[in-house]
Amino acid sequence: MDVQVRKGDTLWYYAGLFNVPLPLLLDSNPGLSPETLQIGSPIQIPGWRTSTHIIEQGDTLWKLAGETRLSLDALFLLNPNEDPGRLQVGDPLLIPERVTNRVVNGNRPYTYTALTGDLQALFKLYPFIRTSVIGQSVMGKELQELRIGRGNESVHWNGSFHANEWITTGVIMQFLNDYLLALTNKEPIRGMDVQPFYNRIRLSIVPMVDPDGVDLVLNGPPEGAFGETALSINEGSRDFSGWKANIRGVDLNNQFPAKWEVEAERKPKAPAFRDFPGYEPLSEPEAVAMAGLARQRNFSKMLAFHTQGEVIYWGYEGLEPPRSMTIVKEFNRVSGYEPIRFVDSYAGYKDWFIQDFRQPGFTVELGQGVNPLPLEQFDEIYQESIGIFLASLYM
pLDDT confidence band for 33 (50 / 70 / 90): confident
Rounded CA gap, 141 and 285, in Å?
11
pLDDT confidence band for 223 (50 / 70 / 90): very high
> Is the per-residue pLDDT at 293 higher than 80?
yes
The full set of domain ranges for the chain reads 2-98, 112-213+280-394
> Is the per-residue pLDDT at 390 higher than 90?
yes
| Residue 70 φ then ψ, to 5° | -110, 155
Task: Specify the pLDDT at position 173.
Answer: 98
> Is the per-residue pLDDT at 32 higher than 90?
no
The DSSP output letter for 252 is G
> Is the per-residue pLDDT at 234 higher than 80?
yes
Task: Specify the pLDDT at position 85.
Answer: 74
Report pLDDT digits (tens) over 103-158. Answer: 999 999 999 999 999 999 999 999 999 999 999 999 999 999 999 999 999 999 99
Cα distances (Å, whole numbers) of residue 46 to 5, 95, 199, 395: 16, 15, 16, 27
* Share of residues in the chain with pLDDT > 90 (%): 96
pLDDT confidence band for 83 (50 / 70 / 90): confident
Average pLDDT over residues 185-203: 97
Q: Are 79 and 94 in contact (CB under 8 A)?
A: yes
> Is the per-residue pLDDT at 57 higher than 80?
yes
| Fold classified for 112-213+280-394 | Aminopeptidase (3.40.630)
Report pLDDT digits (tens) over 84-100. Answer: 778 899 999 999 999 99
Average pLDDT over residues 339-353: 97
Rounded CA gap, 291 and 257, in Å?
10
- Residues marked active site are found at 346, 365
Considering the domain 2-98 in this protein, what is its CATH number? 3.10.350.10
Give 137-163 as a DSSP string. Answer: -TT--EEEEEEE---SEEEEEEE-SSG
Task: Specify the pLDDT at position 126.
Answer: 98
Q: Is 167 left (phi over 0), alpha (psi -120 to 50) or beta?
A: alpha
Cα three-residue angle 197-178-315, rounded to 5 degrees = 60
Task: Specify the pLDDT at position 34.
Answer: 86
pLDDT confidence band for 16 (50 / 70 / 90): very high
Pairing mode, if any, of strands 201-206 and 142-148?
Answer: antiparallel
Task: Specify the pLDDT at position 113.
Answer: 98
Task: Specify the pLDDT at position 77.
Answer: 95
Taking the alpha carbons of 368, 155, 166, 341 in that order, is the dihedral positive or negative? negative
Average pLDDT over residues 207-218: 98
pLDDT confidence band for 192 (50 / 70 / 90): very high
pLDDT confidence band for 38 (50 / 70 / 90): very high
Q: Are 115 and 173 in contact (CB under 8 A)?
A: yes
Rounded CA gap, 248 and 272, in Å?
8
The DSSP output letter for 53 is E
pLDDT confidence band for 47 (50 / 70 / 90): very high
